[in-house]
């Protein structure tokens, strides 16, 4: 099926990470244009090498360094993106980090850290991307959340709370901007084999494999198809405010 993503202008965060790079690769393979907000140039260079090693052209991959918790830095990055691409069709927010912190041993820093990276970039960037999308009366936003927003979550209360807030943010935002032609959806992964999940995997892999209907942890490339499905009007034009759960049946 043609996803009709040819030359679509995609703003991404987190394309340098395990799940993000597979999403980036999938969009490039559909001939979309990506602008990624990265924090370290060397990580962006590694992403380019990783793609080129697989024969994927990176001519359509652009980006700049942005501090995603800082409004001015996000606004500067967005201006650069708009001047290079001349507009935006799709925004995919992947950035996130599981802050492991047993509640009674934690402090307010854990809450701030969890919100800063799992919620704040989505809020700051949504405010910016929605304006040009409203003018175009078209746009698709996809947030990467997590099944911990409503299931499991021992030792990750601040992270789970931030992801739950992200889910409700997406749902209510979808209602507010739907009549302007903008769709807002979520992809909620279960345990996926990336750097972020390493320590949880070491501690709980037996438990997770046992609870997964498919009996295994997920691969990063298994998230991208759900993101492209929600990003594309060709496949999901009548879907908004929804979440696709990609967890091998862990949350059943
Ligand atoms: N892996 C899982 O089991 C799992 C499960 C459910 C949900 N998720 C969600 O999936 C998304 C991607 O996670 P992943 O597993 O791919 O993790 P990852 O490999 O660690 O990638 C995380 C991405 O976020 C960026 N990032 C992290 N902290 C940042 C900060 N303070 N400022 C700017 N960028 C920052 C990283 O940038 P650098 O490359 O510079 O480090 C990287 O691009 C996250 O939202 C995560 O919550 C993951």
Residues 6+ apart with CB under 8 A from 48: 58, 61
User: What pLDDT is recorded for position 250?
Assistant: 93
In angstroms, what is the span from residue 18 Cα to ligand 1's centroid? 7
For the question of residue 38 being annotated catalytic, the response is no
User: What pLDDT is recorded for position 203?
Assistant: 79
User: What pLDDT is recorded for position 199?
Assistant: 80
Distance from C-alpha of 232 to C-alpha of 27, rounded to nearest angstrom: 10
Q: What's the predicted TM-score (pTM) here? A: 0.98
DSSP strands (E only) in the chain: 9-13, 33-38, 61-65, 90-93, 139-144, 182-189, 243-246
User: What pLDDT is recorded for position 138?
Assistant: 98
Nearest Cα neighbor of 230 from 188, 183, 168 is 183
In angstroms, what is the span from residue 89 Cα to ligand 1's centroid? 23
User: What pLDDT is recorded for position 108?
Assistant: 86
Ligand 1 atom at minimal distance to the Cα of residue 98: 47
Q: For a ligand 1 pocket test, name from 50, 194, 223 the mutation site with the most ligand atoms within 8 angstroms of its C-beta.
A: 194
User: What pLDDT is recorded for position 100?
Assistant: 84
Residue spans per domain, the chain: 9-192+221-244
CB of 112 closer than 8 Å to CB of 61: no
Residues 6+ apart with CB under 8 A from 174: 183, 184, 185, 240, 241
Fold of 9-192+221-244: Rossmann fold (3.40.50)
Which stretches of the chain score pLDDT less than 70? none
In angstroms, what is the span from residue 186 Cα to ligand 1's centroid? 15
Pocket of ligand 1 (CB under 6 A): 14, 16-20, 39-40, 43, 68, 94-98, 117, 144, 146, 189, 191-192, 194-197
User: What pLDDT is recorded for position 114?
Assistant: 96
Distance from C-alpha of 196 to C-alpha of 61, rounded to nearest angstrom: 24
Condensed to tens digits (0 to 9), the pLDDT of residues 44-100 reads: 999 999 999 999 999 999 999 999 999 999 999 999 999 999 999 999 999 999 988
């Amino acid at each position: 099926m043609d996803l009709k993503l040819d030359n679509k202008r995609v703003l991404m965060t987190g394309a340098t990470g395990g799940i993000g790079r597979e999403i980036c690769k999938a969009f490039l393979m559909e001939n979309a244009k990506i602008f990624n907000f990265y924090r370290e140039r060397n990580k962006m260079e590694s992403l380019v090498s990783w793609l080129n090693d697989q024969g994927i052209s990176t001519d359509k991959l652009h980006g700049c360094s942005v501090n995603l918790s800082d409004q001015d830095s996000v606004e500067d990055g967005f201006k650069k993106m708009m001047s290079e691409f001349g507009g935006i069709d799709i925004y995919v927010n992947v950035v996130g980090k599981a802050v492991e912190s047993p509640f009674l041993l934690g402090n307010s820093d854990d809450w701030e850290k969890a919100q800063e990276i799992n919620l704040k970039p989505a809020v700051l960037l949504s405010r910016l991307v929605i304006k040009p999308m409203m003018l175009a009366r078209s746009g698709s936003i996809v947030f990467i959340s997590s099944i911990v927003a409503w299931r499991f979550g021992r030792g990750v209360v601040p992270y789970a709370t931030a992801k739950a807030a992200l889910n409700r943010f997406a749902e209510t935002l979808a209602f507010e901007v739907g009549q302007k032609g903008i769709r807002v959806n979520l992809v909620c992964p279960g345990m996926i084999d990336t750097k972020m999940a390493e320590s949880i995997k070491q501690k709980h892999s037996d438990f997770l494999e046992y609870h997964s209907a498919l009996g295994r942890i997920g691969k990063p490339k298994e998230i991208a198809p759900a993101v492209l499905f929600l990003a594309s009007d060709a496949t999901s034009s009548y879907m908004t405010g929804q979440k696709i759960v990609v967890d091998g049946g862990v949350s059943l």
